[in-house]
Amino acid sequence: MDDRETWTTEEFGKAHEGSVAVLLEDGTVAPPAYFDTGSGPSMYETSHWSVYDGRVRHIPRAAALRATCSCGWTGPEQRLDWDTIGEQELEDGGQAQADACEREWDGHTAAVEAATIPLPAAITSLLEQLGAEIATLTQTSPLAAVRGARCTEVTARQAGYYAARGVREDTDPERAAQALGLDEASARTELARLGRWNPYHA
C-alpha cells in the first residue's frame, strides 16, 4: 500500500494527479520505502515524504521535496534545512516545503485550465447558476436537489453524446486532449464515455 498524499481537481482527475516527490542529495528521486510489518513476508510500502528522515538505516534522508504531476510536470526543488529541522519529525519540520509543493501544483493546474478551450460566458454563467440553485434547494428539499443533480447528469449525457461524436469525426486526438486539459489516453476515455463507444475498439 502506497499512502502518498495526492491532489486532483474535479475537472482533470487522474490526468493531473499531483504529489510530493522526495529528492536525494544526488538529485535522484528516492525509491519507495519498505517497512517490515513483523507478520511473515508482508512488507509495508510507502513513498510519503515524511518517512525520509534517515533515521531508519535502509531509508535515505531527503535533501529536498518537489511537486510532481502524473502528466510529467515537475515543480522547483524545495530544499530541506536539516539544521533547522533538527530533532523534529520530518512531517513537522518539512511541512512548509510540502505546502509549497502543493501551491506549485495548484499553479500548474491553473495554467492547464487556462490553456483549455474557453467556454462561452453564457455557458459558464448557466453552470454557475445551476450549481448555486441546486445548493440552495438542498437547504429546503435535499431530495429535490438530488433529483435536480440527476437531471443535470441526464442532460449532460444527452448533450455530450453528439458533442463527443463530433469531436471523434473532426478532431485529432492530440488537439482534443490539449483542448480538454487531458493526456491523450484520458481524452480518448472521456470522449468514449460521453459518446458511448468502446474506447478499445474506436
Question: 34-48, 60-74, 131-145, 165-179 — which is least confidently predicted?
Answer: 34-48
Element containing residue 79 per DSSP (H, E):
strand 74-79
Where does the pLDDT of residue 56 fall: very low under 50, low under 70, confident under 90, or very high at 90 and above? confident
pLDDT at 23 over 60: yes
User: Contacts for 131-140 with beta carbons within 8 Å, 24 or more apart?
Assistant: none
Cα 56 versus chain centre, distance: 30
pLDDT of residue 75: 98
Q: Using a pLDDT cut of 70, give the percent of the chain over it.
A: 95
Q: Look at residue 56 and give its three-state secondary structure.
A: coil
pLDDT of residue 44: 79
Measured CA to CA in angstroms, residue 115 lies from 118, 119, 125 at distances of 8, 12, 20
pLDDT at 5 over 90: no
What is the arithmetic mean of pLDDT over 78-92?
A: 96
What is the arithmetic mean of pLDDT over 91-113?
A: 97
What is the arithmetic mean of pLDDT over 82-106?
A: 97
What's the whole-model pTM score?
A: 0.87
pLDDT of residue 39: 61
Where does the pLDDT of residue 79 fall: very low under 50, low under 70, confident under 90, or very high at 90 and above? very high
Higher pLDDT, residue 56 or 124: 124
The chain-wide mean pLDDT, for the chain, equals 93
pLDDT at 1 over 70: no
Where does the pLDDT of residue 2 fall: very low under 50, low under 70, confident under 90, or very high at 90 and above? low
Please write the tens of the pLDDT for every residue from 128-178.
Answer: 999 999 999 999 999 999 999 999 999 999 999 999 999 999 999 999 999
Give the residue extent of every domain in the chain.
6-115, 121-201
State phi, psi for 32 to the nearest 5 degrees: -55, 150
Question: 27-41, 108-122, 130-144, 149-163 — which is least confidently predicted?
Answer: 27-41
